[in-house]
Structure 1
């Protein structure tokens, strides 16, 4: 089994991308748009972080259900 986390907190998202690259407000905006809420926790799927790092975040817009209001 892959030890890599599938859901990241906003703080973990910023650490992975680089805290000097992505600010707190933008990280939360991405989490609200592409993430999931589990109780009070706002989590971002690892695939969103990978897409962000690879410069293909716009591809997620084309994915059914991605970025839709929940």
Structure 2
């Protein structure tokens, strides 16, 4: 997914497209983006490595030991 010419940060719409819009709804895509993504100004972006981890079934590797859910 990180091939030259590919975006390393995906918008929420691109995240849904990569995971399958029929499998991931808008609310779930935003929940994933809030938890694993970054905010640049008003934009919420998700690293492509998160999409790769979800597709490969290894999302737990992205969790930091000892850290609970991020709060505001």
Task: State the TM-score, normalized to the length of structure 1.
Answer: 0.86
CA RMSD of aligned residues (A): 2.3
Unaligned 5+ runs, structure 2: none
Computing the radius of gyration over CA atoms, which structure comes out larger, 1 or 2? 2
Distance 2:71 2:26 in 1: 21
Deviating beyond 4 angstroms after TM superposition, the runs of 4 or more aligned structure 1 residues are 67-70
SS in 2 for 1:49: helix
Alpha-carbon distance between aligned partners in 2 of 1:23 and 1:53, rounded to the nearest angstrom = 15
Unaligned stretches of 5+ in structure 1?
none
Q: Would you say how many aligned residue pairs link Structure 1 and Structure 2? A: 69
Contact 1:33 1:69 in 2 (8 A): no
Describe the superposition over 1:5-64 as per-residue Cα deviations: whole angstroms up to 9, x where unpaired. Answer: 10000000000110011111111001000000000000000000000111111110147x
